[in-house]
């Protein structure tokens, strides 16, 4: 774990270049693969898209490393643990689902590192077809020792909930803590150090890479600004290791290979296919200043687009502290049935629509077309509140993974974890029938129908 503050490069999908200051001039100029690289380094390209992808979406980076990545023993299959990708073996469940905070392994019982602590909650699709998503919890208490991981199936969007992550990548080092996120894209090797019990959420996408959502009428500025995204600067270690383990997630399975050196031996690199992190407090919220509750799409930080315009394989949406000023409006999220699936988590605080239900480290899932909305307490409170400007979500950060795919829940999430709250649907059962034609009158001042007592009462 580094004690010195880390440096980063700013921007999203920029063409970056970086070299470790211990080896000045290690980055070749004018070309990618000279006959002889400075310092006797090996050139190696990491491609995030096909060679012939359009220039505006083409992603790749060039490494200049002490040894090429190919220098390892053959991969051998590892136990899968609680990871899942075969959704056909699980029973579908259209109910509203909620989980209490998932347990973190006790340090005194067994050492569990980041990879060993991966547990699949739900998902859809197939990594072999490069179509689909998976949602995981990482529950760990120990650092990865002489071990790294890379995902051949897709990108990891990591949302820490408890405990910092010291992440070493081939590009350099970064520290990611609660209220920050990071994205480790397909094929990028990384190792995670931590201190004490650590928990968080992961959204894995197979189809594509995350991009910033289009802003449309919002204009040039707003939501997550590109300058808020940080990429590590080059850092290398030339370290001989007796048995260094490289774990590869491939077609939903885990494999391990051995090598005799650290994989983090990249002295210099350049390109636009990089890992990055983002502080959620940098998000510029857009909201209504007149009436009605705006759709949650205005809170989208990153999106992984599908082939259908405007439809996401996955969106990452947050609900940060913000001002609410809507007039004549039910301000919390409205009752809703959605063609998208919605998985919600809570980093800290209390979610405004379910203050007593959703807890930090827990989750909810409202699948395709499953009705959901504020619980009875929230509805009663918001229906009778004085509509003055107020700050909502203070000391709170909730988020949502939203997908166009119909999601299947794993046995680990529904049974093994023992965290599924079967009483969750009861939070709506106290919603009362309030319909009464005798009490309806047209209120022209607000151009809508409001409940008001008839004359003579």
Output the pLDDT for position 450. Answer: 46
Residue in 17, 261, 293, 380 annotated catalytic = 293
Residue 269 has pLDDT above 70, yes or no: yes
Residue in 372, 380, 395, 402 annotated catalytic = 372
Look-up of token digits 């809508």 = 448
DSSP assignment of 206-273: SSS--BPPP-GGG-SS-BS-GGGEEEEPP-----EEEEEEEEEEETTEEEEEEEEE-S--EEEEEES-
Residue 261 catalytic?
no
**Parallel/antiparallel/unpaired status of strands 300-305 and 97-99:** unpaired
Residue in 204, 342, 352, 402 annotated catalytic = 342
Which residues lie closer than 8 Å to 150 by C-beta, 6 or more apart? 187, 188, 189, 190, 246, 247, 248, 249
CA distance 282 to 285: 9
Residue in 17, 336, 355, 380 annotated catalytic = 336
In DSSP terms, 156 is beta-bridged to 184, 204
- As a whole number, the mean pLDDT across the chain is 92
Residue in 72, 131, 209, 366 annotated catalytic = 366
Residue 270 catalytic?
no
Residue 260 catalytic?
no
Residue 366 catalytic?
yes
**Parallel/antiparallel/unpaired status of strands 60-65 and 322-324:** unpaired
Output the pLDDT for position 354. Answer: 67
Three-state DSSP class for 89?
A: helix
Residue 247 has pLDDT above 90, yes or no: yes
Output the pLDDT for position 438. Answer: 74
Q: Which pLDDT tens digit goes with each residue over 16-34? A: 999 999 999 999 999 999 9
Q: Which pLDDT tens digit goes with each residue over 334-360? A: 999 999 999 999 999 988 766 667 899
Residue 372 catalytic?
yes
Residue 451 has pLDDT above 50, yes or no: no
| C-alpha separations of 181 from 277, 279, 284 in Å | 5, 7, 16
């Amino acid at each position: 774990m580094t004690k010195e503050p880390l440096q980063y490069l700013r921007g999203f999908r920029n063409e970056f270049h970086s070299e470790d200051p211990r080896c000045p001039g290690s980055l070749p100029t004018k070309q990618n693969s000279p006959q002889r690289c400075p310092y006797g380094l090996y050139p190696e390209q990491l491609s995030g898209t096909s060679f012939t992808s359009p220039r505006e979406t083409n992603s790749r980076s060039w490494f200049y490393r002490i040894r090429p990545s190919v220098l390892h023993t053959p991969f051998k299959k590892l136990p899968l643990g609680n990871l899942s990708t075969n959704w056909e073996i699980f029973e579908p469940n259209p109910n509203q689902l909620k989980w209490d905070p998932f347990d973190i392994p006790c340090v005194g019982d067994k050492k569990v590192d980041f990879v060993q602590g991966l547990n699949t909650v739900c998902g859809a699709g197939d990594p072999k077809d490069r179509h689909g998503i998976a949602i995981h919890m990482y529950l760990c208490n120990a650092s990865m020792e002489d071990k790294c991981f890379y995902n051949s199936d897709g990108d990891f969007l990591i949302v820490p909930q408890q405990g910092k992550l010291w992440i070493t990548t081939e590009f350099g080092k970064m520290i990611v803590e609660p209220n920050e996120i990071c994205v480790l894209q397909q094929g990028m090797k990384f190792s995670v150090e931590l201190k004490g019990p650590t928990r968080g959420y992961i959204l894995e996408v197979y189809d594509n890479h995350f991009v910033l959502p289009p802003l449309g009428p919002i204009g040039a500025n707003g939501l997550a600004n590109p300058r808020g995204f940080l990429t590590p600067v080059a850092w290398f270690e030339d370290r001989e290791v007796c048995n260094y383990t490289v774990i590869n997630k491939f077609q939903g399975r885990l494999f391990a290979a051995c090598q005799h050196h650290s994989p983090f031996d990249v002295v210099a690199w350049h390109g636009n296919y990089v890992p990055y992190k983002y502080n959620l407090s940098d998000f510029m919220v857009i909201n209504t200043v007149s009436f009605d509750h705006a759709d949650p799409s205005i809170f989208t930080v990153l999106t992984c687009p599908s082939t259908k315009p405007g439809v996401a394989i996955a969106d990452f949406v947050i609900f940060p502290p913000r001002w609410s000023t809507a007039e004549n409006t039910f301000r919390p999220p409205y009752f809703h049935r959605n063609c998208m699936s919605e998985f919600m988590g809570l980093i800290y605080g209390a979610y405004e629509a379910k203050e007593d239900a959703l807890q930090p480290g827990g989750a909810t899932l409202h699948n395709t077309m499953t009705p959901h909305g504020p619980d009875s307490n929230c509805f009663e409170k918001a229906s009778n509140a004085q509509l003055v400007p107020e700050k909502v979500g203070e000391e709170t950060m909730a988020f949502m993974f939203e997908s166009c795919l119909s999601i299947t829940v794993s046995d680990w999430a529904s049974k093994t974890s023992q965290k599924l709250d079967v009483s969750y649907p009861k939070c709506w059962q106290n919603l009362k029938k309030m319909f009464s034609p005798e009490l309806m009158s047209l209120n022209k001042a607000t151009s809508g129908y409001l409940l008001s007592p008839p004359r003579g009462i």
